Amino acid sequence: MERILSRWVDIPNLRDIEVYEAHGGYRALRKALFEMTPEEIIEEIKASNLRGRGGAAFPTGVKWSFIPRNSEKPVYVVCNADESEPGTFANRYQLENDPHGVIEGVLICCRAVNAHTAYIYLRGEFALQKRRLDEALAQARARGYIGRNIMGSNFDVEVYTHRGAGAYICGEETALLESLEGKRGYPRNRPPFPATYGAFGCPTVVNNVETLSNVPHIIARGAQWYRSIGPEKSPGPKLFCLSGHVNRPGLYELPMGFPLKDMIYREDLGGGILGGKKLKAVIPGGSSFPVFTAEEALKVNMDFESVRAAGSLMGTGGVIVMHEDTCMVDALRTIARFYHHESCGQCTPCREGCSWIEKLMIDLEEGRGTMEDLDRLIDIASNMEGNTICVLADSLAMPVKSFVPKFRDEFEEHVRLKRCPFKFSAKFVSFTSSERPSSHAVDGLSSS
């Protein structure tokens, strides 16, 4: 498969505007400005069936069509670059190496929904990425792609970068908008939805980095070309973040629908399980989604429908692989600690539930747990799921409701032995351990 979203691997210095232009950069924007109406742009994105890559998988063109036409209020476009899901690291590389691809997608979206101001909201830790974006914005502004009367089209647009304060909750679009407005990042009740009441009370489109990076390619090459990649209901290329106990962890661009087994075991991709050990479990979309057993993982294809049918969600494509020496109780304890720490505390089921689950997981891992605690974990998770303003509570509830039943024997063994059976083994590997030198943490960006 041709590298599309990760073409910077084959094109050195793609972040420089002269190189980007030499490889077709901003031609899609010119086409969107001079050869297409805003309605035609939206219809082309609809026809491509591009679905949001930020986790929700909502059809992008449909989302854009919700923006009121001829709005009396200003319309805003917000690029969600607050990549904070454990197991994901695709956006950071796109922003570092192909910032103009992101910017061009933002500008085409602005044209489609008649927005004259756009914001790129970055994760607080993304200092390098902000610097690269600001450099690219300055280059684009000097070339006349941003500002007044861009490319002589009578269309004005400004794009600004904004760094958050490092809160996971601000990856949720309404919490992001609250933060952008200078307020605490609390998710909003919906309705109203951002399409009618978003940034500063105005109609707003929020799309993530990878979603918007697809847009220039669709406009330049057409919806039919895009739909020729991957399955009909989930077409296009996808950046998969492969981490954990594989020989070649890294960022891989693959077509939607690619077999998870091949991603893990193919020599030019994951290269098999570290140390020649057996596969035990895989989280397919980032830490907030149900876990697969080895048997389940080896049967699934990586697209939205297939992963859902198998009992999990593809999310952002953050694939976390665990081998036979991983303690699943320790893994769930680590996940619980993260979501307890990152809960904004606005909703009682999330605030109290995340805290309670982490406490029970600590007790189980340290030998103080009871058999009743296993059922209690499921009960707490069930009362959290679907009962809060945003899905952060679900992000812990879903792992609990998959880890405990699928690996119940392991949980019960912790209770019977009154200790973690893995920590007394020389083979024990913590869920947070990479088992490899840090220089190999990201290796071998590939395409297939």
For residue 158, the surrounding DSSP H or E stretch is strand 158-163
Q: What residues contact residue 35 under an 8 Å CB cut-off, 6+ apart? A: none
Q: Which residue has the tokens 């077709």?
A: 24
Please report the pLDDT score of residue 424 as a whole number.
65
Question: Cα–chain-centroid distance for residue 56?
Answer: 9
Please report the pLDDT score of residue 442 as a whole number.
37
**Amino acid (one-letter) located at 404:** V
Task: Report the predicted TM-score, pTM, of the whole model to 2 decimal places.
Answer: 0.93
Please report the pLDDT score of residue 57 as a whole number.
93
Please report the pLDDT score of residue 219 as a whole number.
98
Please report the pLDDT score of residue 423 as a whole number.
82
Please report the pLDDT score of residue 55 as a whole number.
87
Please report the pLDDT score of residue 438 as a whole number.
34
Please report the pLDDT score of residue 391 as a whole number.
95
Domains of the chain: 7-227 (3.40.50.11540), 239-324 (3.10.20.600), 328-417 (1.20.1440.230)
Sites in the chain below the pLDDT cut of 50: 434-444, 447-448
For residue 318, the surrounding DSSP H or E stretch is strand 318-323
Asked if residue 61 lies in contact with residue 218, where contact means CB atoms within 8 angstroms, the answer is no
What tens digit of pLDDT does each residue of 224-238 get?
999 999 999 999 999
Q: Pick from 268, 240, 243: which is nearest to 254 by CA?
A: 240
**Amino acid (one-letter) located at 223:** A
